[in-house]
Amino acid sequence: MTTFLLSSSSLSTINRRIPYSIKSYLHHPLNNTTTLSYYSKTRLSSSSCHTTLKTTTAIKAVLSDQQQYSKVGAQTVGSVPSDQLLQGVQLAANTGAQVVMEAVNKPRNISYKGLTDLVTDTDKMSEAAILSVVRKNFPDHLILGEEGGVIGDSSSDYLWCIDPLDGTTNFAHGYPSFAVSVGVLFKGKPASAAVVEFVGGAMCWNTRIFSAVAGGGAFCNGQKIHVSQTDNVERSLLVTGFGYEHDDPWATNMNLFKEYTDISRGVRRLGAAAVDMCHVALGIVEAYWEYRLKPWDMAAGVLIVEEAGGAVSRMDGGKFTVFDRSLLVSNGVLHAKLLEKIGPATEELKGKGIDFSLWYKPDDYNTEI
């Protein structure tokens, strides 16, 4: 086995062949201590120093020992014991789900937040039930609900992100999939999560609950779950979503939808972000991406994916927070390959002036992001 140093000419060749996601990682401002110049000084092993492919593989091996995609989960859950926080988030999600279950086979009372953006009485009743649980058990915590907005003490380190009925349009039509999603942030990072997914169909509805606490793994109905190990896009089943505004991001994602439909086993559009992410965590699909999700859409799902062994980033490959406007989650193995198309498409949107700044972060809420 030959040990060698990379020359500047070899480094230039390798740089052209490194996947988009790894370039994004190396040059991202948050990772500016790790640059390609570092690897030009690092000894790598290969059976042949003349094989660019093997050299590129060696660089990937070095990177695999590092953190390509920054962890989104909280490093600590703070003063509240992790088991207490998990029990609280599960109780809140299950309480909301009971409200939804009571209404699921009954006529809907529908109103509109936009031309096609629905809200039902069940959304509001579910959120009210969840709020009662949170206020009773964690009275000093801050709350961000899809329907009710910001409630509570903004000086709290904890922020509950509540989607009382994710997939309202599906619910309104009696079409699976929809869910109740509750995620708790500690200083801006997901600490605990629960998603109650409704499965089955008209007259035979049932539920399953996905849960996670930072550092404790991900579970479905109490059984530990893990993302798939599929390492080939052609053998993958993918999921995406589309917002209500038919503008440049919508058109860009429609093109991505078409591209990946051509080269994968299929791209699904289920219409419930929390459910989509739980399906990635369960290992039945390989990845999910979408523009312009809100914190209540993502806070629970991203932690469940990460704790199931998956990867989470923005759609440009950058470090993700729940206040970001783009999201890609995957089984981790395919993340770099997916970013080779999704990353440049997102950069093009940024070049057009599309706003990707943080949003829906409560004023004065203290974070470590």
| Binding-site residue ranges for Mg(2+) | 146, 163, 165-166, 297
The answer to whether the CB of 330 falls within 8 A of the CB of 237 is no
Q: List the structure tokens of 74.
A: 């909280």
Q: Mark the binding-site residues, compressed into ranges.
A: 146, 163, 165-166, 297
Q: Is the CB of residue 287 less than 8 Å from the CB of residue 227?
A: no
Residue 62 identity (one-letter amino acid): V
Burial 234-264 (b: 16+ CB within 10 A, else e): eebbbbbbbeeeeeebeebbeebbeebeeeb
Distance of CA 180 to the CA centre of its chain: 16
**d(C-alpha 195, C-alpha 216), whole Å:** 16
Using CA atoms, how far residue 278 sits from 1, 47, 83, 287, in Å, is: 44, 42, 21, 10
Residue 304 — left, alpha, or beta (φ > 0 → left; ψ -120 to 50 → alpha)? alpha
Residues 6+ apart with CB under 8 A from 164: 96, 99, 123, 124, 126, 127, 129, 130, 145, 146, 147, 180
Q: Please name which of 326, 353, 331, 325 lies closest in space to residue 342, comparing C-alpha atoms.
A: 326
Pairing of strands 237-240, 287-291: parallel
Strands (E), 321-361: 326-330
Contact predicate 256/229, CB 8 Å: no
